[in-house]
Amino acid sequence: MNKDRIEGIVALEHTLNADKYPLEEYGAVGRRVRRKDGYEKASGYAIYTADIQLPGMLWMRTLTCPYPHAKIKSMDTTKAEALLGVRGVLRYDDPELPERTDTSGHFGEQEPVLNRVGYWQGMPLGVAVAADSEEIANEALKLVEIEWGERPFNIDLEAALKVGAPLTNPESNPDSNLVPPMWHEFKIAHGDVVQGFKEADKTIEFGMRRDTDSWVGPERPCGVFRWNGEYPEVWVKHQRPHLAKRQLAAFFKVPVSQVTVRCPFQGGSFGGWSQMPLNMAPNYIAGILSKRTGKPVKWLFSRREDFCGAGMDNSRFHVKVGFKTDGSITAVAAQAKFSKEGWAHCDHFIENTKIRHVLQESQGAIANILPGHAFRCEQNMNAFCLTATFQHVADALGKDPTELALINDGHEGHAMADLVKEKRAHGFAGDRDSLKECLKAGKKAIEWDTKWHAPGKKKLPNGKMHGIGFAWSHEWGDSGGSGAIAIRIERDDGSARVMGIRCDNGVSAETAYCQIAADELGFRYEHVHYRPFDDAGFVPMTPDSSTNLAVNGWAVRNAARQVKQKILEIATTPRLTERSDMGYAPPFPDCKPEDLDIKDGVVYAKKDTSKRITMAELVRPSFFMGKMDVGATEPLFAYGWQNQQGAYEGPPGARPVFVRQVHFVEVEVDTETGQIEITKVVNANDVGKAINPDAVEGQQYGGSVMGVSRVRTEEMVYCPASGVILNGNLIDYKINTIVDSGPIDTIIVETGMGYGPYGSTGIGEDVATMVPFAFYGAVHNAIGKWVDLPATPDKILKALGKI
């Protein structure tokens, strides 16, 4: 093979340019196909970790802290241990427990497995019980006698940041309540904001706030641990089961190869960090109790305990922005305060605008509330800050916000119109303008030109106020990482099996892998299946639904191209022809591999298509008894591996993102009750190339439903006096139902300007993250007031001066 051909097959590290070797024609890719997991899921046969039951299995329950900040002064477990049916009790002072260990699997944070101190109400701590049933385990926990030492607490992040505020976690942070720098710098400067403000015709300042929502994963955190003698076997609900495997091996001091980790389907996770810190400690405890009792141990959070999985969106902002009268923004200086954890809030100004001067400053507070984690996704602060800034500037200028977007679209301080050369340098068409294309389609669908109006000026015949909002950004869901996927051709019928561990996030990425494999191999889609490895040992990229395809798509493609090459070599190359039991004469003895191709699972000569052989005929049966004159081909197997740099990894500007996403939300606000009705959502997403259109649309409407829900009704409510969560259940914590979601239009734009295979890019993170802030603009457009999020009826009425 020549260099180009090898390069076209083998994975490229750090994909920084457009796909140089797309297919000439597509069959399954881009087509609506029957999803591979559909029947399993619709019929109830799909197995999730919470469904796992093993013979003799015990149930494990862990105590949770009844106070927002308290220490166990003394604990007596005698009565619990004596209860009939209790088989094991593990206390915080057990000698087998290390003082601290890595419980996060992501950042390497060191925490006690069973803490003696609770830092938020609902935190698992103190003691765990394994019993014959869940009821007995719960009953045993009630028999544990504890003397609590209550401590001062602080559930408000701004109060926690004040000098002299009581310490909220003195064991881990003895000096202050500030979150230590971890993932990002708390101060980032691009350009010179002082200069930027000098260049401005006008400067405005504003603030906004968003309170904590919860991820509400349908399947609650859970796991099952069984020791098979010296071999741990663990079922996890985990977005990165391979990390769980590494941690379990380290904790129990055995080689990784001694551990089997199984990851069945997952009942909604929505982000790589959602459960990790609160997921691994129970697995460690279950492992210890399983070892001691000689029985499998299952743990499962209650729904109330699941409300530990909050979003990292609890944030307050103060933004100063300078702009010219034509709408060009010259400088942004934004300060944010967030409650552990948070993310940057000014990256999107750098990544998808021409704004040259940007200053980001942030402070994270450790408060006595549940720790936040990313879900669908970690860019919420970035998205809120970007969108609110544009909406406030548009409002100050009385300009159409969609025009403002076009004026400021760009990358790293350069206008999009000036980036034609860069687009071409990265292998893309220079004349495509993603934002313009998305806006054209999206505005038409929402009827923007006839519906947009000045804020608070349109009263509908039904007496409600009409509002329409707009948000836009780039797509960041093609981030870096590594993924490995293999393909094996089955004996007997020559069908293909795509293999990796199961980590079912997003909308059936496994279906998209099969579409790519089918087209690359020249097989029919129906003859390609994703069958997961039982053990977390062959690892596709699994942090985010969107990144699944941007990374794993390459891995599948590369594996498929290698397998196809092997098929064509076998079809043309004799093997041990002197051995009738071992060898065979090839079906195309006079051809070279490049003379052949495969279509619909049939290998044929390009110059004479009557010369053909099916894959089943080529690969032969799987098993021979004795000496049989049938010949056998060698096993056909290859793996693909992709290790790539993403948009927000590595040096800035290494991978400028040219694809854009736009979102519109239309609302009606009842000014008497404060209720908001969502009447329409429109998403126009440039996904470069839609490999599976059904999956793209799934992320569009799915993200829209969750997006409006999380800023309309969803909020974790704490009692200020006791620090206790007041609405930790799905009756009092309201997520959208089918009647709360209005019509959602999904528009797929394909400019081919993604860095994934065939010009694709991700979509899973954008919609649920951006739609909330289109909603923020729509509410303002309706009532002429800026309302903090979530925009619950009381806040609407307060903004209107009615309460």
Partner 1 sequence: MSTQSKYVCPYCATTFDAFDGLKAHVVDEHGTMPLPRPHGLINLSVNGQRYELQVEPNTTLYNLIHDQMGLTGVKMFCDRGACGSCTVIMDGRPVLSCMTLAIECDGKTIETAEGIAAAKHPLIETYVKHHAMQCGYCTPGFVVTAKALLDKNPDPTEEEIREALSGNLCRCGTYPQHPKAVAEAAKILQGG
Q: Which residues bind partner 1 (CB under 8 A)?
A: 34-35, 37-48, 50-51, 53, 133, 135, 216-220, 265-270, 302-303, 504-508, 694-695, 697-698, 701-706, 709, 729-731, 735-739, 741, 743-744, 768
Q: Cα–Cα distances in Å, from 124 out to 57, 137, 151, 634?
A: 22, 14, 17, 53
Residue 64 is inside which H or E element, if any? strand 58-64
Least spacing, CB of residue 779 vs partner 1, in Å: 20
- Measured from the CB atom, the residue of 113 and 768 that comes closer to partner 1 is 768
Give Rg (Cα) of the chain.
28
Length of the chain: 803
Could you report how far apart the first and last alpha carbons of the chain are, in Å?
76
Minimum CB separation of residue 161 from partner 1 in Å reads 32
Whether 27 contacts 518, CB under 8 Å: yes
Closest distance of CB 775 from partner 1, Å: 14
Structure tokens, 142? 């009630």
Strands 202-210 and 315-323: antiparallel
Please give the single-letter amino acid code of residue 44: G
Q: Choose between 136 and 346: whose C-beta lies nearer to partner 1.
A: 136
Q: How far is the CB of 267 from partner 1 (least distance, A)?
A: 3
User: Which H or E run includes 529?
Assistant: strand 528-530
Backbone torsions φ then ψ of 640, nearest 5 degrees: -115, 145
The residue (of 368 and 548) whose beta carbon lies closer to partner 1 is 548
Minimum CB separation of residue 239 from partner 1 in Å reads 12
We find the least distance from the C-beta atom of residue 169 to partner 1, in angstroms, to be 30
Q: What is the closest distance, in whole angstroms, from the C-beta atom of residue 730 to partner 1 in the complex? A: 4
| 55/95 with CB nearer partner 1 | 55
Q: How far is the CB of 46 from partner 1 (least distance, A)?
A: 5
Q: Which pairing describes strands 496-499 and 528-530: parallel, antiparallel, or unpaired?
A: parallel
Q: Of 44 and 651, which has the nearer Cβ to partner 1?
A: 44
Q: How far is the CB of 764 from partner 1 (least distance, A)?
A: 10
Residue 207 CB neighbour total at 10 angstroms = 12
Structure tokens at 662: 């736009």
If we measure between CA atoms, which residue out of 657, 461, 625, 483 comes closest to residue 555? 483
CA dihedral 705, 709, 710, 716 (to 10 degrees): -140
What would the DSSP string read from start to end of 296-340?
-EEEE--HHHHTT-EES--EEEEEEEEE-TTS-EEEEEEEEEEES
Q: How far is CA 518 from the centre of its chain?
A: 26
Closer of 62 and 104 to partner 1 (Cβ): 62
**Bridge partners of residue 1, in order along the sequence:** none
Looking at the Cβ atoms of 520 and 697, the one nearer to partner 1 is: 697
Shortest distance, CB of residue 696 to partner 1, whole angstroms? 10
User: How far is residue 452 CA from its own chain's centroid?
Assistant: 33
Smaller CB distance to partner 1: residue 90 or 681?
681
Distance between CA atoms of 458 and 551, rounded to whole angstroms?
A: 46
CB of 544 to partner 1, least distance (A): 14
Cβ within 8 Å of residue 483, ≥6 positions away = 500, 539, 540, 541, 542, 548, 551, 552, 554, 555, 641, 642
Tokens 């790589």, located at residue = 272
CB nearer to partner 1: pick between 50 and 441: 50
Is residue 748 within 8 Å of 442, Cβ to Cβ? Answer: no
Nearer to partner 1, 170 or 268 (CB): 268
Least distance from partner 1 to the Cβ atom of residue 564, Å: 29
Q: Nearer Cβ to partner 1, position 272 or 522?
A: 272
Nearer to partner 1, 307 or 390 (CB): 307
| Residue with tokens 């002429």, as numbered in its chain | 784
Q: Give min distance, CB of 611 to partner 1, in A.
A: 38
Q: How far is the CB of 678 from partner 1 (least distance, A)?
A: 12
251 phi and psi angles, rounded to 5 deg: -65, -45
Rounded distance between C-alpha atoms, residue 782 and residue 469, angstroms? 9
Pairing status of strand 145-150 against strand 70-76:
antiparallel
With DSSP H G I counted as helix, E B as strand and the rest as coil, what are the percentages for the chain, rounded to 5?
A: 30, 25, 45
* Contact of 143 with 83, CB cutoff 8 Å: yes
Nearer to partner 1, 50 or 346 (CB): 50
Nearer to partner 1, 265 or 523 (CB): 265
| C-alpha span between 53 and 780 (Å, rounded) | 51
DSSP three-state, residue 404: helix
Question: Which tokens is 104 given?
Answer: 């996060």
Q: How far is the CB of 366 from partner 1 (least distance, A)?
A: 28
Distance, CA of 407 to CA of 396 (rounded, Å): 16
| Min CB(729)–partner 1 separation in Å | 6
In whole angstroms, the minimum distance from the beta carbon of 268 to partner 1 comes to 4
Decide whether 316 or 376 has the Cβ nearer to partner 1.
376
CB closer to partner 1 out of 310 and 603: 310
- In 344-464 the beta strands, taken as DSSP E runs, fall at 357-365, 372-373, 410-411, 414-415
Distance separating alpha carbons of residues 595 and 440, to the nearest angstrom: 46
If you search the block for the tokens 């902002």, which residue do you land on? 317
Q: What is the dihedral sign for C-alpha 379, 382, 388, 390?
A: negative
* Euclidean distance between CA atoms 750 and 761, whole angstroms: 10
What tokens were used for 604? 């044929």
What is the closest distance, in whole angstroms, from the C-beta atom of residue 380 to partner 1 in the complex? 16
